[in-house]
Amino acid sequence: MHKGKALKRMNDMKKTVAILLVLVIGMAGMFAGVYDSSKTINLEVTIDELAALYITSAEQTTYSTTAPDEISSFDFVVDGPGLIENVGFVTVFSNLRSGYTLEYTANVMKSGETDTRYIDYSVQIGDDANTLITTDAYNTSPVLSGTKTINEVTSQTETDVFSEEISITIDENFDTAVAGTYEGTIVFEFTAG
């Protein structure tokens, strides 16, 4: 009888293995239709436009998300002819795809008296002689102001950093100027391309 029981157990095990195989094969077929061979992760970012104009105390060579140190005062008291030391640097940070133009205008120093008088000066940006503006109020063809392009970028593929020193030289007609308060302006203008 032992043999009979052993045979019965073997037959039961064969049936169990066969049932398991049928289940495994059936389950594989059932999940085969659900199998997905591709998944997508979408990435998106928005970069804001950057168009910043500063008059900085030092030359800027790289862009930083922190604003650079600007000069402490935009008012300079002129005390004689010659070069004004440590005026500052005109600095631009820009990432505009269409680029930008940076210009400046220098207006002669003039007194506000009824008999307007002038003190001339020159301005240059960096070493570029093409940016030089010289007022010449007492010429037969007076030059009371001038406008120059400092930097023109037609398109950008990365953030541009422009930083050049501002040089101002007061004319010798300072020494012969009549009494009064003289004021002049230098205006920098950034225009998107």
Confidence check: pLDDT of 165 > 70: yes
Q: What is the mean pLDDT of residues 155-173?
A: 96
Output phi, psi for 31, to 5 deg: -85, -15
Q: What integer pLDDT is reported at residue 52 of this predicted model?
A: 94
Q: What integer pLDDT is reported at residue 123 of this predicted model?
A: 97
Q: What is the mean pLDDT of residues 130-154?
A: 95
Tell me the percentage of the chain whose pLDDT exceeds 90. 70
The band of 78, judged by pLDDT with boundaries at 50, 70 and 90, is very high
**DSSP class of residue 64?**
-
pLDDT tens sequence across 13-49: 666 655 655 555 555 555 556 677 899 999 999 999 9
Q: Taken in order 176, 177, 178, 181, is the CA torsion positive or negative?
A: negative
Give the chain's mean pLDDT: 88
Confidence check: pLDDT of 139 > 60: yes
CATH of 51-192, one of 3.30.750, 3.30.460, 2.60.40, 1.10.3470: 2.60.40
Radius of gyration of the chain (CA): 39
Confidence check: pLDDT of 117 > 80: yes
Q: Give the least confident one: 67-71, 117-121, 147-151, 164-168.
A: 67-71
Q: What is the DSSP string of 67-98?
A: PPPBPS-S-----SSEEES---EEEEEE--TT
Confidence check: pLDDT of 190 > 90: yes
Residue 42: how many CB atoms within 10 A of its CB?
Answer: 4
Domain boundaries, the chain: 1-37, 51-192
CA gap 97, 117 in Å, rounded: 45
Q: What integer pLDDT is reported at residue 10 of this predicted model?
A: 61
Confidence check: pLDDT of 63 > 70: yes
Tell me how far CA of residue 148 lies from CA of 7, 49, 88, 114, 192, in angstroms: 107, 25, 18, 30, 16
